[in-house]
């Protein structure tokens, strides 16, 4: 049923019990499973992760689940874009001749969080800075849902994108701490031709707003240019990044610009080897994140 030959269609699974059964059957047959967790509204960045997964495994499970546990009450859970039919079509096209090697796991919220749900997964330190400081309990929702997806789908490989850099680092720590026997891959950020990091939230913008959203990329590029010219003081670099953002999007709200160690997320005052710059900026009501390695 899951061979790569023939005309079989990709499966869409909605129940945990069914996904458990299928995962066990695949493992019994010696099939290597890769998982690509998503919240749907798929774009080319997501599809690049699926293509990477095809190189790593016999079967690719793409999960589509808008996880309510990672949204605060004031955030955009209700309006978060949902288009499962189109998502499935994109996954099918990406899999191509190997569409029978693809599975979509798309449970409902009540399936993943029944009324008596009480258990949460916390990564203590890595969740404190950056997005964790701005969005308390956000990462608790992320780590809990991904731990559940790992338990349900039993992957051999998990693939996440660098755009959500802190999330990727947090989940890597969780994978190691909980001893999941999973090969963990962080794939590069995909960008639009003008540099804007691909994101499901980009569809919120009109043409003018979309142009202003590139301010994050411009700021990161400015920072990298300063580092290449020999400037390593993060205070000076941050000041210039703020100016670049304001010049492109005068009404933008800068949540943070941070320079941290790639692995530990500890703040640094001067650019050194393994330094990442991360920023979060609200552009016309839409919160965007991006990042770039500086040294």
Q: Which CATH number do you get for residue 217?
A: 3.30.1300.10
Task: Give the pLDDT confidence of 180-238 residue by residue, as tens digits.
Answer: 999 999 999 999 999 999 999 999 999 999 999 999 999 999 999 999 999 999 999 99
Q: 265's torsion region: left (phi>0), alpha (psi -120 to 50) or beta?
A: left
Residue ending a domain, among 125, 157, 187, is: 187
Of 154, 155, 294, nearest to 230 by C-alpha is 294
Q: What is the DSSP letter of 146?
A: H
Task: Give the pLDDT confidence of 72-116 residue by residue, as tens digits.
Answer: 988 989 999 999 999 999 999 999 999 889 999 999 999 999 999
Same domain (yes/no): 25, 86: yes
Q: What's the whole-model pTM score?
A: 0.94
Same domain (yes/no): 179, 232: no
Q: Is residue 3 part of a domain?
A: no
CB 169 within 8 A of CB 139: no
Same domain (yes/no): 31, 127: yes
CB 257 within 8 A of CB 238: yes
Q: 154's torsion region: left (phi>0), alpha (psi -120 to 50) or beta?
A: left
Q: Which three-class secondary structure state does DSSP give residue 91? A: helix
Distance CA 180, CA 175 (A): 5
CB 267 within 8 A of CB 139: no
Of 226, 236, 241, 196, nearest to 294 by C-alpha is 226
CB 19 within 8 A of CB 105: yes
Q: What is the DSSP letter of 131?
A: H
Catalytic, out of 20, 43, 46, 284: 46
Q: What is the pLDDT of residue 100?
A: 85
Distance CA 234, CA 7 (A): 56
Residues spanned by the domain of 152: 11-187
Q: What is the pLDDT of residue 251?
A: 98
H/E element holding 38? strand 33-38
Of 59, 5, 67, nearest to 29 by C-alpha is 59
Q: Is residue 4 part of a domain?
A: no
Distance CA 202, CA 210 (A): 7
Distance CA 266, CA 260 (A): 5
- 20 catalytic per annotation: no
pLDDT > 90: percent of the chain = 94
Same domain (yes/no): 48, 161: yes
Same domain (yes/no): 270, 152: no
């Amino acid at each position: 049923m899951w061979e790569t030959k023939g005309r079989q269609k990709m499966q869409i699974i909605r129940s945990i019990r069914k996904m458990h059964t299928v995962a066990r059957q695949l493992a019994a047959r010696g099939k290597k499973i890769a998982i690509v967790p998503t919240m749907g509204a798929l774009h080319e960045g997501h599809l690049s992760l699926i293509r990477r997964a095809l190189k790593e495994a016999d079967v690719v499970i793409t999960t589509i689940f808008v996880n309510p546990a990672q949204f605060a009450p004031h955030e955009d859970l209700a309006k978060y874009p949902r288009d499962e039919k189109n998502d499935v079509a994109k996954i099918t096209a990406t899999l191509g001749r190997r569409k029978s090697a693809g599975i979509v796991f798309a449970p409902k919220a009540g399936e993943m969080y029944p009324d008596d749900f009480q258990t949460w997964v916390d990564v203590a330190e890595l969740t404190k800075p950056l997005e964790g400081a701005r969005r308390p309990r956000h990462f608790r929702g992320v780590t809990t849902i991904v731990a559940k997806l790992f338990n349900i789908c039993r992957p051999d490989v998990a693939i996440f994108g660098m755009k959500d850099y802190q999330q990727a680092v947090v989940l890597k720590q969780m994978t190691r701490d909980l001893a999941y026997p999973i090969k963990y891959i962080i794939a590069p950020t995909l960008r639009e031709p003008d540099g804007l990091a691909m994101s499901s939230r980009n569809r919120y913008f009109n043409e003018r707003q979309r142009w202003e959203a590139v301010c994050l990329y411009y700021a990161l590029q400015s920072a990298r240019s300063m580092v290449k010219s020999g400037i390593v003081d993060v205070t000076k670099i941050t000041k210039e990044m703020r100016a670049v953002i304001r010049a492109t999007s005068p009404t933008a709200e800068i949540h943070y610009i941070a320079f941290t160690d790639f692995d530990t997320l500890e703040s640094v005052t001067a650019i050194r080897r393994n330094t990442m710059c991360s920023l979060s900026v609200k552009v016309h009501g839409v919160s965007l994140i991006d990042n770039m390695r500086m040294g």
